[in-house]
Amino acid sequence: MHDDRALVEGRLKRVLDERIRPAVYPESVPLDVAVWNAPGEPVPVAEGLAATPEPIAVGDAWGAPWGTSWFRVTGTVPAEWAGKSVEAILDLGFDENMPGFQCEGLVYRPDGTPVKGLNPRNQWVRIGAPVSGGEEVRLHIEGASNPVILDYHPFLPTRLGDKETAGTEPQYKLARMDLAVFDETVWQLVQDLEVLGELMAELPVDGARRWDVLRAVGRALDAVDLQDVNGTAAAAREQLAGVLASPATPSAHRISAVGHAHIDSAWLWPLRETVRKVARTTSNMTALLEDEPEFVFAMSQAQQFAWIKEHRPEVYAKVKEAVSDGRFVPSGGMWVESDTNMPGSEAMARQFVHGKRFFLDEFGIENDEAWLPDTFGFAAGLPQIIKAAGSKWLLTQKISWSQTNKFPHHTFQWEGIDGTRIFTHFPPVDTYNCSMKGSEIAHAAKNFKDKGVAEHSLAPTGWGDGGGGTTREMIAKAARLRDLEGSATVTWETPTDFFTKAEAEYPNAPVWVGELYLELHRATLTSQAKTKQGNRRSEHLLREAELWAATAAVRAGFSYPYEQLDRIWKTVLLHQFHDILPGSSIAWVHREAEKTYAAVAAELNGIIDAAQRALAGDASAGSELVFNGAPHQRNGVAFGGASAPVAGPAARLTAREGGGFVLDNGLLRIEVDGRGLVVSAYDIEADRESVAPGSAANLLQIHPDFPNMWDAWDVDEFYRNTVTDLTDADEVSPVEDAGTVAVRVVRSFGESKVSQLLTLAPGAKLLDIATEVDWHETEKFLKAAFPLDVHAERYASETQFGHFYRPTHTNTSWEAAKFEACNHRFVHLEEPGWGVALVNDSTYGHDVTRTVRADDGGTTTTVRVSLLRAPRFPDPETDQGVHRFRHALAPGASVTDAVREGYRVNLPERRVTGDAEVAPLVSVDNDAVVVSAVKLADDASGDVVVRLYEAAGGRARARVAAGFEVAGAVATDLLERTLEDAPLPELADGAVRLTLRPFELVTLRLKRG
């Protein structure tokens, strides 16, 4: 037989595009449209419905950037359409290739009842099926004219990302506003032909099944009268029935589809717009659930449920009803789909506490899975946090984006720093926006790396990022793929159903140990420095507020601010969303974040001040007390206590031969040369130099920074090829104050200026470096380098509840790909018996490299901290302005020292006048066991909750002593629920004795006597 395959396939494409699809709506009449443009920000639904609109016609421009337009759509169903299905086609000016990324709408009835959302792939509203004819149609559309930020030529700088700079030029033209007859038979024919055409393209050319499908498609096209598609569609479908009924092979890969609409809580739109995106999407999904009995939809992020509960109660009522039916599934158990690299220990824990508690309180549902499809890599401390929250599974997809190395598993056990293992799945469909295309389904089956030992994978199905969700077309395709020869099988299932099956079939899944590093989007550890700084400082202020409020509540009857702290925690957790904290959102988002963090700081400082004053006693009769919120003793003041500080011997500052200055406090001797660079950091006790010979530390370096894609997200390795050392100084001058000595260094470069204060305090075995940068560069990357005389094959970076080791070498492509990595408060390098720590108060990105010196054969290991970038997309003014950072170099530091100094620089002591020393509410007798939280229990019982962890990476025994009468103690999960299978802690004399394994996390609940 002659090969006419290409001929038939070409015919299928043209006939579908030009004849069959247009015949889905064979008759139409125009609707009358009027519009009212809301001034300023979106208005309540009732106000939009009551407004008086002005006429607008198809083809007219509408919608200033970020504006809201309320359309009133009216018409009458023609009498001759009686008995037919009728839909309204409402096209606001959509580009079907941009669902979620341009204008959208939410349709309401005149009484305010939400109907469904409108987006580029979902433009219809059912009027009747069938209609009687003569019905009056009246609908209202809340239209959002969100501008296109990520256009066909991506990553171009744009001022549209902030309402303050976007202008007023209309963004869209009204395209189609009609009543139309909906021919379901033709629509079903479209789905038949799309599924078979897409399947055919994935089948081997030399296989019989491909030719069976091809011949059936050819017969169907022969049966279609191109001048009467509607009259012949049924006959065409009959020609396809046989190939659609042929069942899948028993060994076919099995896909669990779950309806999904990954909605970024902010990204190329502000937070306020996400509230409406969620309302539009959930309106669509609840309507679809009513129509499709097999469909299941899952939505994560408790914050998004809370938004519609507050702002769109009429939508939330439908969501709650659908949840109670079991087919609208709250998933993930987190407040938002957060970044997991940068949030601190407690913040990562509270993501689960607040997320799971919301789902329990609202729906009586507890999640077993963490659901993070789009997060940019996963910290090694996360598994035990998931387990401590009462969950056991993790889903993500993002690691498939890695540029260099292909991850070896799709289903596996992920082991964290403490040994906890979490059953994890990466959907091999390689997208969290699956649309049921044949290419996607075939890719999932071919790509699945666990063939032969497992057969199930998951496909999150629906338009996401900007929302939209699953469509009726996707559901129709899934129905045809349920059991179809040549394809994987597709079944709608909940995440729990999928994970239960997947875990049962794969009891000996392979193990991956350590972080799940995304080999992409590494610059998210640095972009938008003020957002990152706001997060870090908010986390530590929350720690202090809980500690001092709890102490004051127990000691002085202070009113513990339960509701206030709950609200603030949720605000901070929201801003850890994976496009806010990483700095990859539009200017509007980060401008608002800066204001929010300032308000959070003011409120938390108010709580702290009030609690400390309640503890400090008489201010008029007292002297200065130092409150220490850091988890180790400092200057003689205990953790969680307040007393007069103990000062160490004064430091000295002298002139350095050859220029510069020498700072000496008996523990360290620091030499700053005439360029303002640290050429020596000498550990006097150990008789050991820190700075590599011939090198200078605290060396600011600047690189060009223009990645191939994803400007705010990415830094490509070639950035290192060009570097400028900033060695010229405008000023190098001494500063002395009350026993503390310092050197001020000022430099100018490009359009920017940097001022640093290098300080050595009495009794401190570290050099403090306070940096202020007035930054006005574009597409540049600023780092500070510390070349250290340390031979180490690995180094430690702090992560949640511990630290994680990475190699300093690049033996493999996996190691080479980690050329920019994340740390929390410290990076630590060590030779046996001696180490160096570099701590920070608000930076996350860093790199570590090593070289061998030719002159003496020694190893120079260079740690560089990432300070600032200047990408132009999506915010063209990223990081412009003044920034302040604090770092400290700690020669001779052990890992325990690094932990202590990291907390110290992030939790400065507070000074309050009073006459009453404050004893700690809780104390621990082992510095390797660190308290991460002291608070009152969330249930307002008055119980004291203490969370602590082993921080050095070894076994530890500790006595946790309470400074109040304890009537009982239990170990709990993160939600403060007693762990029934855990032994009761050993309680004696008001203290609990613990034995902890490396990095073990423990939460204790102490009942007050």
Confidence check: pLDDT of 2 > 90: no
Using CA atoms, how far apart are residues 648 and 634, in angstroms rounded to an integer? 11
pLDDT given for residue 620 in this prediction:
87
Angle, CA 943 vertex, CA 942 and CA 948 arms, to 5°: 140
| Lookup: tokens for 992 | 């609990």
Residue 675 is encoded by which pair of tokens? 């360029």
Query: What phi and psi, each to the nearest 5 degrees, are found at residue 575?
Result: -75, 0
CB 928 within 8 A of CB 628: no
SS3 136: strand
Mean pLDDT score of the chain, rounded to an integer? 97
Angstrom distance (rounded) from CA 539 to CA 571: 11
CB 96: neighbour CB atoms within 10 A? 10
- The answer to whether residue 33 scores a pLDDT higher than 70 is yes
Mean pLDDT of 823-841: 98
DSSP state of 21: G
In whole angstroms, how far apart are CA 380 and each of 347, 513, 645, 752, 999? 15, 8, 37, 37, 11
HEC string of 930-995 equals EEEEEEECCCCCCCEEEEEEECCCCCEEEEEEECCCEEEEEEECCCCCECCCCCCCEEECCEEEEE
Position 982 pLDDT exceeds 90: no
Q: Average the pLDDT over each of 63-72, 502-511, 616-625, 908-917 and give the range with the smallest value.
A: 616-625
In sequence order, the 6+-apart residues with CB closer than 8 A to the CB of 709 are: 154, 155
CB 342 within 8 A of CB 351: no
pLDDT exceeding 70 applies to what percent of the chain? 100
Query: What gap in Å lies between CA 581 and CA 532, rounded to an integer?
Result: 6
* 333 three-state secondary structure: coil
- How close are the terminal C-alpha atoms of the chain, in Å? 91
Catalytic residue among 178, 183, 374, 847: 374
Beta strands 136-145 and 67-76 are antiparallel
What's the whole-model pTM score? 0.97
Looking at the chain, the whole-number percentage of residues with pLDDT higher than 90 is 97
Of the pLDDT bands very low, low, confident and very high (cuts 50, 70, 90), residue 305 is very high
Which residues is 780 bridged to in the sheet? 704
Q: How far apart are CA 768 and CA 941, in angstroms?
A: 42
Name the token pair of 735: 């500063």
DSSP letter for each residue of 703-770: EE---SS-TTT---GGGGGS-EEE---SEEEEEEETTEEEEEEEEEETTEEEEEEEEE-TT-SSEEEE
∠ CA 142-146-147, nearest 5°, is: 150
**Could you write out the DSSP letters of every residue in 418-460?**
TS-EEEEE--TT--SSB---HHHHHHHHHH-TTTTT--EEEEE
Q: Is the peptide bond before 874 cis (omega within 30 degrees of 0)?
A: yes
Question: What are the tens digits of pLDDT across the range 961-979?
Answer: 999 999 999 999 999 999 9
* pLDDT band, residue 3 (cuts 50/70/90): confident
Q: Quick one: tokens of 231?
A: 């009259």
Give 19's DSSP letter. Answer: I
Least confident of 266-280, 640-654, 697-711: 640-654
What whole-number distance in Å separates Cα of residue 458 and Cα of residue 426?
8
CA distances from 370 to 330, 336, 510 (A): 11, 11, 19
Give the position of tokens 């913040």.
347
Residue range 91-120: mean pLDDT, rounded? 97
> In the annotation, is 418 catalytic?
no
Question: Does the pLDDT at position 255 exceed 90?
Answer: yes
Q: How confident is the model at residue 1 (pLDDT cuts 50, 70, 90)?
A: low
Residue-wise pLDDT for 772-788, tens only, equals 999 999 999 999 999 99
Give the amino acid at 952. Answer: A
- Looking at the DSSP assignment, which residues form a beta bridge with residue 414? 422, 512
- Helix 313-324 to helix 302-311 angle (10° resolution) is 130
Residues recorded for the chain: 1009
Cα separation, 280 vs 283, in Å, equals 5
> What are the tokens at 858?
């020694």
Q: Kindly tell me the burial class for residue 728, based on how many C-beta atoms sit within 10 Å of its own C-beta (0-12, 13-18, 19 or more).
A: exposed
Query: What token pair was written down for 244?
Result: 């659609």
Contacts of 640 (CB under 8 A, 6+ apart): 547, 551, 628, 629, 920, 921, 922, 923, 931, 934
d(CA 465, CA 374): 9
5-15 helix and 208-223 helix, angle to the nearest 10 degrees: 40
Q: What is the dihedral of CA 935, 939, 940, 944, to 10 degrees?
A: -30
SS3 601: helix
Which residues, listed in sequence order, are joined to residue 33 by a DSSP beta bridge?
A: 73
